Homo-oligomer: A and B are copies of this chain.
Amino acid sequence: MDSETVTGSGSLSPAQQHGTYELLPFVLDPKNIARFDAGQVIIGDRRQYPFEQSFVTCRTVAEVASAIEGMVTQGSGPWLASVNALRILTSDSPDNPATLMADLQQARDLLVSTRPTNTAMMQRLDQMLSIAKQALATNSDVDYAIAASIDEVLLGIYDDYTLRALAMADLIDDGDGILTNCFGEAGVLLSIAFAARQGKDIIVYAPETRPYFQGAKLTAPSLHEMGIKVNLITDNMPAHIMSERKIQKYVTAADLITLDGHVVNKIGTFQNAISAHAHDIPFFAFAWGRDDSKKQRSDIVIEERDAAEIKLALGTATTIDTISARYPAFDITPPNYVSGVVTVHGVASPYNLESLSTW
């Protein structure tokens, strides 16, 4: 990263300066992820995309929690939907401070319980609760304080996406085949878009990501929309494509990275990393903020979802009811399989993360 490039254009933010917002595909436009409008939280329905550009409207915090749990959105969607869910309470009842804080705390706990692995939602909710408390203490408008804070956080996140994506783009070579997993969102997609804008010819291999098909439904159509070549494959193919020497880099997002370099991401990330290692292909994982409470592997909570979801493909049963199943939603790639963690300060060693104050 050249910090002069980032700060050298006067008032332009990194995201503005590098054209981030113009590059983003439909599903990653912040207003299509989740927004607050007239007392309701409007969440982009990733279950319907790319067949429909539809939205789920939530009138209560419980409805937002249910939408998150039901996979209406995922990745960065839950934090943005959940902080906006707080505004259902703050925009509605600004008059009773004591009740409001209790309600916000209850909302926070309900929302956090929906997806235990990715702690970004919890961190942002706690940040918003702290802002609400401060606003109440100073007799400020709580809803306005939270709304302003969401906007500020959002801009900061897209600036961070931009800084990380620029760092990763530098490591992508002309002619690279890139394997990803699930939906790497703005970090992964922008890094490829920036590299392509530098004139590099790139093709992405996107595993479909069972059971919810995020690779087929989000990653492949988003890359196609961005003008990037993409080949959809099933989740059992990455090592075979590697053996054909068609993959030179493996790049994913991460739902969580521990201070000692364990990468937690959508199930399948780990076995692709093992296959990449066996084929001398480097694996880069995008950081998503730092969580000081997640020091090591034993601090990770892997979400075990309802096994019934494994026995469905787009609503159709794949087997008979009597069959048992398992559905761990995430896996853990230890640092010995991680070539680099993509942070706002550049691509770092997974063994040197604790020394970086921000990721």
Which A residues contact B (CB, under 8 angstroms)? 50-51, 181, 205, 207-211, 213, 216-217, 220-221, 224, 229-241, 243, 266-268, 270-272, 274-275, 277-278, 310-311, 313-320, 322-328, 331-332
* Pair B243/A332 contact, Cβ less than 8 Å: yes
**Given A237-B268, A313-B316: 19 more A-B contacts, CB < 8 Å:** A208-B310, A213-B313, A213-B318, A216-B319, A217-B318, A221-B320, A230-B324, A232-B311, A232-B319, A232-B323, A234-B235, A236-B267, A236-B268, A237-B326, A239-B331, A243-B270, A271-B274, A274-B278, A314-B316
Q: Is the interface of A mostly helix, strand, loop or mixed?
A: mixed
Chain B hits for A213, CB < 8 A: 313, 318-319
Q: How far is the CA of A239 from the CA of B211 in the complex (A)?
A: 16
Report the minimum CB–CB distance from A173 to chain B (whole Å). Answer: 21
* Pair B224/A322 contact, Cβ less than 8 Å: yes
Closest to A203 in B: B324
Q: How far is the CA of A315 from the CA of B237 in the complex (A)?
A: 20
Chain B hits for A211, CB < 8 A: 234
* Pair B220/A323 contact, Cβ less than 8 Å: yes
- 27 A-B pairs within 8 Å (CB atoms) are namely A205-B326, A208-B310, A208-B319, A213-B319, A216-B323, A217-B318, A220-B319, A221-B320, A230-B323, A230-B324, A231-B324, A232-B311, A234-B235, A235-B236, A235-B268, A237-B267, A237-B331, A239-B270, A239-B331, A240-B328, A240-B332, A241-B326, A274-B274, A275-B275, A277-B278, A313-B316, A314-B318
Chain B hits for A272, CB < 8 A: 271
